Amino acid sequence: MILATDKILSSPKVNLLGLTEVKLREYICSLGEKPFRAKQIMKWIHHCGIADFALMTDLSKPLRQTLTEVAEVRAPEIVSQQDSKDGTRKWVLRVNGGSCVETVYIPEKGRGTLCVSSQVGCSLDCSFCYTGKQGFQRDLTAAEIIGQVWLATQSFDGFRPRLKEASAQNRRQRNASNESSQSSMKETESISRVSNVVMMGMGEPLLNFDNVVDAMNLMMDDNAYGLSKRRVTLSTSGVVPMLDKLGAVSDCSLAISLHAPNDELRSQLVPINKKYPIAMLLESSLRYIAGLSDSKRVITIEYTLIDRVNDSLALAHELADLLKEVPCKINLIPFNPFSLSDYKRPSRNRIKAFQRVLNEAGFIAPVRTTRGDDIDAACGQLVGQVADRTRRSERYQRASGTD
CB count, 10 Å around CB of 397? 14
Our CA angle for 365, 293, 216, nearest 5°, is 75
| Calpha distance 126→132 (Å, rounded) | 6
The C-alpha atoms of residue 105 and residue 86 are separated, in whole angstroms, by: 11
Q: How far is CA 291 from CA 99, 249, 334, in A?
A: 38, 11, 32
Q: Which is nearest to 306 in space by CA: 269, 256, 262?
A: 269
* Rounded Cα distance, 118 and 141, in Å: 8
Alpha-carbon gap, residue 206 to 162, rounded angstroms:
36
Give me the phi and psi of 198, to 5 degrees please.
-120, 125
DSSP state of 46: I
75 within 8 A of 94, measured Cβ to Cβ: no
**275 contact partners, CB below 8 Å, separation of at least 6:** none
Do 187 and 86 form a contact (C-beta atoms < 8 A)?
Answer: yes
Contacts of 210 (CB under 8 A, 6+ apart): 142
Instruction: Fill in the DSSP letter of residue 332.
Output: E
DSSP 150-166: HHHHHHTT----SSHHH
* 102 catalytic per annotation: yes
| Calculated CA dihedral for residues 317, 322, 328, 330, nearest 10 degrees | -40
- The one catalytic residue in 21, 33, 100, 102 is 102
Active site residue 379: yes
Give the DSSP letter string of 190-248. --SS--EEEE-SSS-GGGGHHHHHHHHHHHH-TTTT---GGGEEEEES--HHHHHHHTT
The residue among 78, 28, 30 whose CA lies nearest residue 56 is: 28
Cβ-count burial 133-156 (b if 16+ within 10 Å, e if not): bbbbbbbbbbbbbbbbbbbbbebb
Catalytic machinery residues: 102, 379
